[in-house]
Structure formats: C-alpha cells, structure tokens
C-alpha cells in the first residue's frame, strides 16, 4: 500500500486526519450497527463488550489505512488495546486535557496511538476533539490546572473532520473531548493501539 500520509509530519505533530477512509457502504454499516446498539440501552458510549459483538466495529480495528498510519507513531509491531465508541449528547462531552497513559512517554518512544473513525462530521459546534499539537513530545503530562474541563491551552485547537474520515493521533498527545453545544450527533468508533508488553495502567 502506498503511504497516504506524511509520516514525518505525523510524528512531529502527533496527529493527522485522513479523508474519506470509510466507503459509503462501510459508513452505512457502522451507522446501522450503532443504531442497533442504541435499541439495547440508553447509553451514548459503547465499551469493548458491545463492540466485540458487532463485526462492523471489529473491522475498524483491522482497517489497513489505520494500521499503516499507526506504524508511523508506535512502530510496526502493535496490538489492539481497546475498541469502543463515544457519542456525547447535547451539553455533554467536555473533558480536561489528558493523555491515555499514566506517565509521560519519551519524545522518540510513543507507546500508544488512537484511530478515531468519524461517523458524523465533527467540529467545535458538536464537541470535536481538542488537541495540543506536538505535546506528545514534551515528555510531561498536563498539570492539574490544565486537566480541569474548562481550562484552555494557548496552543490548543479543535479538530474538524467529516463522516468517513479517520483521525489518527498519539495517545500521549494532550487531548480531550469538548462540549456538544448543538446536540448534533457526533459518533466516533475509537481503536487504541499499543506496543506489546506495556502493562495495563492508563488514565
């Protein structure tokens, strides 16, 4: 497969959006699987137990574009750590800046990376993910002040992406969900990849 991204830029910034990775058929299958799960409960978030039973979600973990992009961040050998879904409803979703690991990672040694499959277009209006570009290489975690939901970092930005896009980022990048002000749907299937043998501690 020919590279679809600038791997050097991804390693430097810690994130990228790859456009139109999901075909209309794949996107439709994921929408249908999500809607089916919603008939079984009132939650807006799905964990590994629910996603394990849905082949459409499982195929996200096997997506060749995602797996190729992940290698730029954590190398050729990795495992799927978690597979879940998140869809903050209106007036929910705001988080403090955080990473997905309990300790800083060395700038040249990323341990985990995320692949977010975007099922509905996301932006500042409906709670798009906020990130601090390059923070995965700072070898430190957000301090207590920045970890508060309403705190803002001067370099933060909110990622915009369209339904069918793939958002790839280091799990050591400072990031968080933001408030879904409009109530417009913002469903994301999340796959967390990890290098083997790093244990089970995480935020």
Please give the chain's pLDDT, 203 residues, in tens.
555 688 999 999 999 999 999 999 999 999 999 998 888 775 788 888 888 788 999 999 999 999 999 999 999 999 999 999 999 999 999 999 999 999 999 988 899 999 999 999 999 999 999 999 999 999 999 999 999 999 999 999 999 999 999 999 999 999 999 999 999 999 999 999 999 988 654 44
Residue 201 lies in a domain: no
Containing domain of residue 163, as a range? 7-194
Residue 202 lies in a domain: no
Residue 199 lies in a domain: no
Q: How many domains does the chain have?
A: 1
H-state helical runs in 62-153: 64-74
Residue 2 lies in a domain: no
Residue 1 lies in a domain: no
Instruction: Say which residue the tokens 């992940």 belong to.
Output: 70
Is 20 strand, coil or helix?
Answer: coil
Residue 30 lies in a domain: yes
For residue 72, what is the domain's CATH number?
2.60.120.620
**C-beta neighbour count of 139 within 10 angstroms:** 14
CA nearest to 187, candidates 21, 34, 58, 81: 34
Model's pTM, two decimal places?
0.94
Residue 80 lies in a domain: yes
Residue 52 lies in a domain: yes
């Amino acid at each position: 497969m020919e590279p679809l991204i600038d791997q050097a830029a991804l390693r430097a910034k810690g994130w990228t959006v790859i456009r139109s990775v999901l075909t209309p058929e794949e996107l439709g299958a994921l929408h249908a699987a999500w809607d089916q799960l919603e008939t079984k409960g009132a939650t807006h978030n799905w964990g590994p137990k629910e996603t394990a039973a849905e082949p459409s979600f499982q195929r996200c973990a096997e997506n060749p574009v995602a797996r190729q992009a992940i290698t730029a961040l954590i190398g050729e050998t990795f495992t799927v750590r978690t597979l879940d879904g998140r869809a903050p409803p209106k007036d929910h979703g705001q988080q403090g800046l955080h990473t997905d690991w309990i300790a800083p990672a060395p700038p040249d040694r990323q341990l985990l990376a995320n692949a977010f499959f975007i099922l509905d277009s996301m932006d500042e209006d409906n709670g798009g993910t906020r990130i601090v570009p390059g923070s995965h290489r700072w070898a430190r975690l957000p301090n207590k002040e920045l970890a508060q939901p309403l705190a803002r970092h001067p370099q933060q930005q909110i990622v915009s992406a369209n339904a069918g896009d793939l958002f790839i980022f280091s799990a050591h990048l400072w990031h968080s969900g933001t408030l879904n002000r409009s109530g417009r749907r913002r469903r994301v299937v999340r796959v967390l990849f990890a290098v083997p043998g790093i244990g089970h501690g995480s935020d």
